[in-house]
Amino acid sequence: MSDDADDLFQANLQLVFAKMGDGRTSLAELERGGRHFLGPFLRGVYAMDRQPPPDDTHHCVIVNVARTAEESITMGHWILLMRHGGREMLYDSFGRDPAEFAPSLAHVETTEDDAEQSEDPSVQWCGQACISVAMICKKEGIDVARQV
């Protein structure tokens, strides 16, 4: 992560934590928090099998990597898809290759592969991290967000 992108990420994350806490988040909590910080730039929060297809607009979606809406209620991990025209970029707070957890997204460009969050089960702020990165994308653009 570049120093500038890291500073933006950390500053945004503190704002998001102040509003939402730093624990596990539900779809509804992410939808409310995302709308607060992102307005209409957030297209929505979805299970993997329910996300809208990319189009030519500038927006983001937060997606649970559980395969279905039913699974996302009890398990899963939140990732961010940033879309700018025909370009799509994936952010995963664990810094993983999407082929490991979402083969349907293996073709999507990713942000830096350094993890902002450990895979320790007691650390569950992936949803808040997605909002933080989306805030960077909205304000600074997808190329700056890519550096996270």
Average of per-residue pLDDT values in the chain? 90
Considering the segment(s) 3-145 as one domain, its CATH architecture is: 3-Layer(aba) Sandwich (3.40)
pLDDT digits (tens, 9 = 90+) for 103-113: 989 999 999 98
In this structure, what are the phi and psi dihedrals at residue 6, rounded to the nearest 5 degrees? -60, -45
**Residues of the chain where predicted confidence (pLDDT) is lower than 70:** 1-2, 67-75, 121-123
Residues sharing a CB contact under 8 Å with residue 11, sequence separation 6 or more, in sequence order: none
Task: State residue 115's pLDDT score.
Answer: 85
Task: State residue 137's pLDDT score.
Answer: 97
Task: State residue 43's pLDDT score.
Answer: 97
Task: State residue 116's pLDDT score.
Answer: 87
**Exposed/middle/buried for residue 87 (C-beta within 10 Å: 0-12, 13-18, 19+):** middle
Domain ranges (residues) in the chain? 3-145
* pTM to 2 decimal places: 0.91
Task: State residue 117's pLDDT score.
Answer: 75
